Amino acid sequence: MIPISQGRSRRAVLAGAVCALLVTGTALTGCSEDPNEGTNGVGRLSADQIRSRSQKAAESVGAVRLHGTVVTRGRTYTLDMRLKEQGGIGSVTTEGKTFRLLRVDDELYLKAGAEFWGHEDGEADAAAADKLAEKYVKVPQGDPSYKKFVGFTDKNVLLGGLLTLHGELTTDGHHEKSGVRTIRVTGDEGSGGTLDVSLEGEPYPVRLVRAGKAGTLTFSSWGADFELKEPAEDETLDYGKQLPAS
């Protein structure tokens, strides 16, 4: 056995500590620490492989929470939704108005205040808005609102449409988002969107910045089940074949 001097041992420990502190920051010449050590290993893959692994992980799990913004057709929606195969529940805010969405299988409900339904000229319209306020209003499947909002409650549709990067994919270093170590994948150096993928446990999506300034979303609670049931009868209102315009 070759003896190692105490001074040399201290220097080795110190060098290792410095490298560990800098592993997520600026690279230090001479540091041999592997930033992927102790992770799920996806950081060693190509950008295309990382995105593929992340999409498969998202598809394979039963439930997820997402919150953030989505910009579509010039309108910004702020979402806070919990989703699973049987439906979803959460809130949506747009143009200063917030409403709740609940879907159980094919039944979609919308809950909002009177200001959401809108007070038009005339007492009849005001009375209709007051009647709908703070009730879970059953949205008829033939109503335009059903097609407009049901996608916000559909895990497969929503994630399939959102988890998209455009252009040539490259990796953009190791990061930390929401307390989770991530590997970042970018499309066209960021202009095609960026996706942070977890390096801990399953390679789930953690944060997505959509291309073209079309919103930013954070994903959490992967696989965490939640209660999903139709609202009580006294909290529900079936308006009929079509909701009033608002």
Could you read off the pLDDT of 200-227 as tens digits, one per residue? 999 999 999 999 999 999 999 999 999 9
What share of the chain has pLDDT > 90, as a percent? 63
Listed range (20-24, 54-58, 116-120, 155-159) with the worst mean pLDDT: 20-24
How many CB atoms neighbour CB 165 within 10 A?
22
Mean pLDDT within 167-188: 96
Whole-model pTM: value is: 0.80
The phi-psi region of residue 99 (left if phi > 0; otherwise alpha if psi is between -120 and 50; otherwise beta) is beta
**Burial zone of 99 (CB within 10 Å; 0-12 exposed, 13-18 middle, 19+ buried):** middle
Q: Cα separation of 242 and 246, whole Å?
A: 12
Q: Cα separation of 63 and 14, whole Å?
A: 44
Could you read off the pLDDT of 69-83 as tens digits, one per residue? 999 888 999 999 999
Can you read off the two tokens belonging to residue 184? 């970042």
Question: Which residue stretches of the chain are H helix?
Answer: 6-22, 47-60, 114-117, 123-132, 144-149, 155-162
Is pLDDT at 196 greater than 80 in this prediction? yes
Is pLDDT at 3 greater than 80 in this prediction? no
Instruction: Band the pLDDT of 18: cuts 50, 70, 90.
Output: very low
